[in-house]
Structure 1
Amino acid sequence: MQYQTPIEAVHGVNFWKKTDESVIVPPITEDTDSALGRKKIPKRIKGKNESPSKKKKKVRQESPTKVSREKRIIHCGRCGAVGHNSRKCSSIGVEIQRPPKKNKESSQPMLSQVID
């Protein structure tokens, strides 16, 4: 089925016909963001002692046992320069500088050293 007169395309809002009708306003809701879309279905039914709403994330407190990586200076393991690590080091032929291994001293004396 075709229209008797062709429908002409309108190029934009500026070309719309002006009318005396009132402006259409969307319905007022309490929270427009939550009202949009489908309602969320809970994944599980919460127990008696559980709170009905989501728990807020706890603010991280500085722990005396954990060290943060913030404000740490990176040193290269090959050349010892500051600001990059051994993966990004430009001096490829240089061997990696490692501190000398410390000898572990056992707290218990060996059996051959025990004097009776």
Structure 2
Amino acid sequence: MTNDNERYYQPNDIKDALQTIQKLFNTYVDAPLTTELVTYHQKLVNQLQTNLLPLANQSHDQLRVDQINSMMAVMQDWLKLRLSGKTFGGKMQHYKFVSRQKTQFKRRVHKIRGNANHRASRH
């Protein structure tokens, strides 16, 4: 039987904890909304507010404080959007919201000298 300390992930510092929460958030962004998911999400937001924000304030690290605040804003916006029935349409990257809508370029493939392996694209 394993120890309770070995069962849960223990981050080394604030940056490690933020990366872990960001990774966890991105795994369930598109999942169907259930009461368990909402409770889990609120637990993560609560971790940011009660554990990580005071640690960042205590160490006078303004960059981490700004990152935590932007993460909390994105996570609260996600919950508001999902509860209203809308899709989120993005993910969290570098502790900020990043849209999935990217510019698509039309490509016309032009075969050069008839060799199928070497193709040039002329936009």
Tell me which interval the TM-score lies in, with the shorter structure as reference length: under 0.3
> Larger helix proportion, structure 1 or 2?
2
Look at both structures and tell me which one has the larger radius of gyration over its CA atoms.
1
TM-score, length of structure 2 as denominator length: 0.18
Higher RCO (Cα < 8 Å, 6 or more apart): 2
